[in-house]
Chains A and B, each alone.
Chain A
Amino acid sequence: MSMLKLSWKYLLAKPWNTALNILLLALGLSIITVLILIQDQFENKMNKDAAGIDLVIGAKGSPLQLVLSSVYHIDFPTGNIPLDEAKAISRNRLIKNTIPLGLGDNYQGFRIVGTNHDYLDLYGVTFSDGEAWNRAFDVVLGSEVAEKSGFEVGDVFVGSHGIEAASHEHDEHPYKVVGILAPSDNIVDQLILTSIESVWYAHDEEHDHDKMEKGIAKSGFPETEAGEERELTTLLVQYRNPIAAVQLPRLVNSRSSLQAASPSFEISRLFELLGVGISLVQGLALIIVLIAGLGIFIALYNSLKERKYDLAVMRAIGASKEQLFILIILEGILLTFLGALAGLLIGHLFLYILVTMNEQGALSGLRADVFLNQEWWILAYALAVGILASLIPAWNAYRTDIANQLTK
């Protein structure tokens, strides 16, 4: 026998009560766990995906939408911009480099992104098979796309127009897989990358086969013939110097038909908006935990009334006041420790379910199998609740008047 075992036996003597208290606590803590896990990883992921992109230039509309669609590939694009204007702005001396993007097609919900090889360098990708595209309609698959679709190098498929699954199919121009990327834990995993030319030609009414045989632009903008009017969706911009951050957005927004949006600014605005909701849920979870603490207090307090005799008997056979105090405190600690463990487990499990149900959405790529340092704090917080809730019952046990109790 040990104090811990003795406490545990008394908890087991009331299994339903014990289970209810553990469950209530676990519920509150699991909500907190999920929030912490999502918040931490979401911010990380958002920052990682936007690394190296100082500014996004695209069609006028909502700046947040522009950033979400062209950096994170979750919302619809705001529209297209003329290639000429894009080229003109990219010559600005405040800009170090631009990467053009042509969006608009998908394969079973995975977005087909027309761009150049700079995009591959931006995310520092490595190939698990094959190589980058060198001709129109050659594509490179992100690791998740390859895994879900089962495609290998050499396979062909037909894209659909629009950025969501099950839209109208382009039946004439199959894409050919020439490379597959190694997992990189960022947005590229879920994209199908190709040249801008591919995207253009896929939408052309007539097919000019000579043009398709010509090479594609590996860097900069694709070449066009005189009089040919082409469009892009967005430009990803890298600043030359810090002054650009001040001047360039204003310049673009005021002087042209284009719109500039800063990913870091838009994302911090988004988090601010989400933050209100998150604090609300967090507050709710804290209240649940407090109620669980109250539940534990009431359970211990009530069971103490029935156990006064047991405690007196323990004193009569040699237990000290201190041992009774510890016995009750241990019950509180055991309850909350188990509640915290269950809460953390449920939290991770819940996130896992959330992520698997949401494979192509904003939560995709989050991991449920990471353990954050903050989770130690959850454990500590739970134990503090347990000790607090058992303090008064334990004090009552400490003061048990043996002789009086035994003669009743």
Chain B
Amino acid sequence: MIATKSIQFSYEGVPAFEIPDIEIKAGEALLVLGKSGSGKTTFLNILGGLLAPEKGEILIDGISLYSLKGQNLDKFRGKNIGIVFQKPHILGPLSVAENIALPHFFSKSSHSDNVDHYLKELGILDKKNARINTLSEGEAQRVSIARALVNEPKIILADEPTASLDDENAKIVVDLLKTQAAKLKAALVIVTHDQRIKNEINQSITLKRKDL
């Protein structure tokens, strides 16, 4: 489903990252480990079509991601890649339901009637019309997962999704990501240094930086 080929990237003044090639099949999951500063978030941004690498290629379902430009890349990302951030980052002026429906609007996707379905799957149907600032951390993170799933993407990327959650919520979130990715037959990539996740997923890679 997703494969990378000899990606190279470096920030100015920061030694280059060592990024191994990966290949994840539909329905499989991969953990990305590494020390702080080893480029995990950077790698995830590259996979998500948010940051172009200096060299190398990312293939999603056979399509070279960065051969797409401008709006085409934006729409492709919206339709095929669901991203969960470390913090939920839900849009304050909108309701929970409107937040979750937003990817439909931006990518003009056809799945526009499944908002309730995902609210139910993630156990937050009763929060459908709640105001954003009334949600707990765990609920907010589940809203952001619903938003990442609602376009039924082929790739799900999550950057330390459990870092700010307690044990119970962390388990719920990881389980949800795993089961939903499996249902969608999507490739799941989770960046983490959270010990609680490491036992849940068996494939992993570790990023390094030359000086670390």
Contact = CB atoms under 8 A, between A and B. Distances in A.
Interface of A: 1-2, 6, 9-10, 12-13, 309-310, 313-323, 402-403, 406-407
A319 B151 CA distance: 13
Interface of B: 41-42, 45, 48, 50-51, 70-71, 74-75, 77-79, 83, 85, 89, 91-94, 98, 101-107, 147-148, 151
A319 B92 contact: no
A331 B103 CA distance: 21
A10 B93 contact: yes
B147 to A, nearest CB: 7
B45 A407 contact: yes
Contact of A318 (B42, B91, B106): B106
Given A403-B51, A406-B50, A407-B41, A317 B102 contact: yes
B107 A12 contact: no
Nearest to A10: B93
A319 B45 contact: no
Given A1-B102, A402-B50, A320 B93 contact: no
Query: 7 smallest A-B Cβ distances: which pairs?
Result: A318-B78, A318-B107, A318-B106, A13-B93, A403-B51, A9-B93, A403-B45
Contacts of B89: 309-310, 313, 406
Contacts of A402: 50-51
Contacts of A1: 98, 101-102, 104-105
B94 A317 contact: no
Contact of B106 (A9, A310, A319, A406): A319
Given A1-B98, A12-B93, A13-B92, A406 B78 contact: no
Contacts of A13: 92-93
Nearest to A13: B93
Q: Is the interface of B mostly helix, strand, loop or mixed?
A: helix
A195 to B, nearest CB: 74
A323 B93 contact: no
A316 B93 contact: no
Nearest to B107: A318
B159 to A, nearest CB: 8
A316 B83 contact: yes
A303 to B, nearest CB: 11
A322 B92 CA distance: 22
25 contacts: A9-B93, A9-B98, A12-B93, A314-B91, A316-B48, A316-B50, A316-B77, A317-B83, A317-B106, A317-B107, A318-B75, A318-B103, A318-B106, A318-B107, A318-B151, A319-B106, A320-B71, A320-B75, A321-B71, A323-B106, A403-B42, A403-B50, A406-B89, A407-B41, A407-B42
Contact of A313 (B71, B91, B104): B91
A386 B81 CA distance: 36
B79 A318 contact: yes
Contacts of B151: 317-318
B74 A315 contact: yes
Given A318-B106, A406-B45, 5 more contacts: A6-B94, A318-B75, A319-B78, A320-B75, A322-B71
A320 B50 contact: no
A321 B186 CA distance: 27
B70 A321 contact: yes
A4 to B, nearest CB: 12
Nearest to B104: A1
A1 B150 CA distance: 15
Given A318-B77, A318-B79, A406 B102 contact: no
Contacts of A6: 94
A310 B50 contact: no
A206 B101 CA distance: 93
Among B74, B83, B102, B148, the most chain A Cβ lie within 10 Å of the Cβ of: B74
B93 A317 contact: no
A406 B105 contact: no
Contact of B147 (A317, A321, A323, A403): A317
Contacts of B104: 1
Contacts of B106: 314, 317-320, 323
A319 B74 contact: yes
A343 to B, nearest CB: 26
A305 to B, nearest CB: 14
B116 to A, nearest CB: 16
A322 B71 CA distance: 8
A310 B91 CA distance: 6
A12 B77 CA distance: 29
Contacts of B93: 9-10, 12-13
A10 B51 CA distance: 27
Contacts of B98: 1, 9
Contacts of B148: 317
B17 to A, nearest CB: 14
A310 B71 CA distance: 18
